[in-house]
Amino acid sequence: MPKKTFAFVAAFMVQVFYGITFTFASDVIKGGFIKPFGFILLRVAGAGVLFWLFSFLGPKEKIDRKDYFTFFLGAVFGIAINMLCFFKGFEYTTPIHASVIMVVVPIIVLILSAIFLKEKVISTKIIGILLGLSGAVVLSFYGKSTADSTNIPLGNLLVFINAVSYSIYIIIIKKLTYKYHPLTFIKWLFLFGTILVFPFGFSQLSAVDWTSFSPYIFFEVGFVIVGATFATYLLNPLALRELKASTVTTFLYLQPVIAGIFAIIVGSDSLDLIKIVAAILIFAGVYLVSLNKVKKRE
C-alpha cells in the first residue's frame, strides 16, 4: 500500500475508533462502573503499558536529551489537559454543546500549522474545512441533549480548553514524526501522561468494584484502552508523517457520523434526512481537503 494511501486509512481509522468509543465510554461512566478521572488513569496507564511492551517492534533510535522536554509537553497537552478537561467538561455541559465546540479543532490546527509549521493554506482546504464544519454543526444541533447538565458555561469552557490543547498536541507531534518512529516517542508521552493524571484518577480508580463488571463491560473498557487509545495514538503520528496536520484533523468531522452509524447499528439511534445531508457535507469536506498534495520533506 502506498504511504500516502496508508496515511489516509490511518487517519480514517482513528475516527472510527473514536466514534465507537462514544457509546462504550458512556456505558462505563454513566453506568457507574468507573468515574471519569479513574477511567482516564486506567486508559492512559493501560495504553502506556502496551506502548512499552510493543516498543521493541520499532527501530532502535537514540533520543536527543532536549527532546524529552518535547515529549513532556506532548503529554501535558495531548494527554493530561486534553483528557481531563474533556471528561470534566462533559460532566457539566451537554453532548450537543461539546460536539459543536470540538469541531473547531481543524480550524485551530489550520491556523497553528500556518504559523508554526509554515503549511500553505489554499482555497480548496478552506472550503473543505468549512463544508465539514457545517455538516458537523448541523449533525450536532439535531442531536439529543441531556437534562442533567449543571453548569453549561463552565463545561463549554473546559471543552474548549480541551480542543485548543489537542490542537497544540497535533502541532507538537507533527515535528516529532519527522525525527522519530511513533513507537519511539509515544511510550514516553504515555509514561509522562500517566504520572500527570495519576493524582487526579488514583482515588477513583482504587474505588472501582471490579466484581460488578459483566464480560461486555470488560470488553468496552478494553476497547477504550486498546482501540481508542493505543491504536489511535499510534495511527495519528503515522498519518502525520505523510499528511499535513490540518488535513489529518479535518478527519475529526467524521467522528459524529461514525458515532451515529454505530449507534444506529446497535439500535440506540435512527437514520433521517438531516443526518444524511450532514454526512454528505462532512464527507465532501474531507474529500476536498484530501485532494491537496503532500508537501515533500527535504
Does residue 295 belong to any structural domain of this protein?
no
Amino acid at site 252: L
Does residue 246 belong to any structural domain of this protein?
yes
What are phi and psi for residue 142, nearest 5 degrees?
Answer: -100, 15
The structural domain count of the chain equals 1
Tell me the per-residue pLDDT of 106-159, one tens digit each, with 9 for 90 and over: 888 888 888 888 878 788 878 888 887 787 777 666 655 444 556 778 877 888
Does residue 250 belong to any structural domain of this protein?
yes
Cα–Cα distance between 134 and 151 in angstroms, integer?
26
Does residue 223 belong to any structural domain of this protein?
yes
How confident is the model at residue 96, as a pLDDT? 57
Does residue 191 belong to any structural domain of this protein?
yes
How confident is the model at residue 296, as a pLDDT? 43
List the pLDDT tens digit at each of the 298 positions of the chain. Answer: 788 899 999 999 998 998 888 778 878 887 889 998 999 999 999 999 999 999 988 888 999 999 999 999 999 999 999 999 987 887 777 665 666 667 778 888 888 888 888 878 788 878 888 887 787 777 666 655 444 556 778 877 888 898 899 999 999 998 888 899 999 999 999 999 999 999 999 999 999 999 999 999 999 999 999 999 999 999 999 999 888 888 888 888 787 778 777 777 877 656 678 778 877 887 788 778 767 544 444 4
Cα–Cα distance between 155 and 169 in angstroms, integer?
21
What is the extent of the structural domain holding 196?
3-290
Cα–Cα distance between 101 and 153 in angstroms, integer?
12
C-alpha grid cell, residue 49: 503499558
Does residue 35 belong to any structural domain of this protein?
yes
Amino acid at site 293: K
Task: Find out whether 170 and 35 touch, Cβ atoms under 8 Å.
Answer: no
Does residue 298 belong to any structural domain of this protein?
no
Full DSSP string of 15-61: HHHHHHHHHHHHHHHHTTSS-HHHHHHHHHHHHHHHHHHHGGGS---
By CB neighbour count within 10 A (0-12 exposed, 13-18 middle, 19+ buried), where does 123 fall? exposed
Does residue 297 belong to any structural domain of this protein?
no
